[in-house]
Structure 1
């Protein structure tokens, strides 16, 4: 059994969606004057529901008309059968690249994707986690790509991309995606390092009441140490 941690690191200088999202800052807790010995504790300043790698329900889009993350039982988030789709993304010199349904179809070849499993799409973008253009130059999904993914009826859809939409010229797929009642996991790292076959995903978010999404720890378990997803 091989385990790959696909959770991005939360640290000072981490990427952020920008205002009004606060910037993360790790700070020491002031001295605790009601204990005799010196103790060490930290304040996670600026931590919000979409800090780092997070898990999200459709309530991010529909609010109270949908269900909060707390309503998803932990047992449903452990050992989810996983289909990993790895793509090669060309160097565009900093401009954003659109991922199409044709690219996804070519990547899976004739592999059958069963319903009610996790699908994660990766292109190695997690390697840029602390880079200045991690967010601004992120590849995005074209409408037909998300439509293709939704048609597979997954329980969860994830990727190593921090910005799925093209904000300059929106594809407009989020309404269709969230109405399909699919959990979102993003952005991930280390997808290019996953080896073996018969992958499963475990993703455990912070147990926070009243939110549609929360930072999480996500790992992929694989049965053997064969070739990487890029090599298959």
Structure 2
């Protein structure tokens, strides 16, 4: 398959990061038999489902979603296929380095696959998710990636997330794409990532549709 959708579905009653973010609500407000057409009311937040997030999430006055030029939403991507991670298991710098084995170039998107997306519809998806060790995030920053994508909903330990690893990552206006689904199907083949957020001025992030396109040439941008 040339194109792979790695976007998680947004559903009524799905997992949430909790207050002050409101839960997702999807309500039919127009019925085909009643109004002659169909329509829904959507209550979402910046971190609903698969989302793209900018540095403005943690740094005042920094790049917001509407500031990101289209060319930064399409990039060469390298997938790090890690062993399946269990609840609250850590992601290490050593296994990230081994998984990419020199395939990662400065400016690439790095997509980290742990298999945790299998729990997308479970309550523990956020509260028990695997997370990065500090050294792992330091390794990511040294690689100078343009975007970090994950199939886990939290970069840091969800039991004690003070935002320090996110701040380390966002210092240079990188983009965060999470949580993703289906990365196991991507294998390790060279790919192009297409990540298209909603165009909403004044916000740090929005839900996003993320697609991987397989490339025939590993050097292709």
| Paired residues for 1:83-102 under 5 Å | 83-91=78-86, 94=87, 96-102=88-94
Q: Distance in 2 between matches of 1:2 and 1:17?
A: 33
**1:222 aligned onto 2:220:** no
Structural RMSD (CA):
2.0
Select the structure of larger CA radius of gyration: 1
TM-score relative to the length of structure 2: 0.90
| Paired residues for 1:7-156 under 5 Å | 7-29=7-29, 38-45=36-43, 47-64=44-61, 66-78=62-74, 80-91=75-86, 94=87, 96-109=88-101, 111-156=102-147
1:16 Cα offset (Å): 0.6
Structure 2, unmatched stretches of 5+, are: 217-221
* Corresponding pairs, count: 214
TM-score relative to the length of structure 1: 0.85
**2:6 aligned partner:** 6
Structure 1, unmatched stretches of 5+, are: 225-232
Moved beyond 6 Å, runs of 4+: none
Are the structure 2 counterparts of residues 13 and 199 from structure 1 closer, same or farther at C-alpha, using a change threshold of 3 Å? same
Q: Distance in 1 between matches of 2:50 and 2:8?
A: 6
1:195-219 superposed Cα distances (whole Å, 9 cap, x missing partner): 4622110000001110010001000
Are the structure 2 counterparts of residues 212 and 89 from structure 1 closer, same or farther at C-alpha, using a change threshold of 3 Å? same
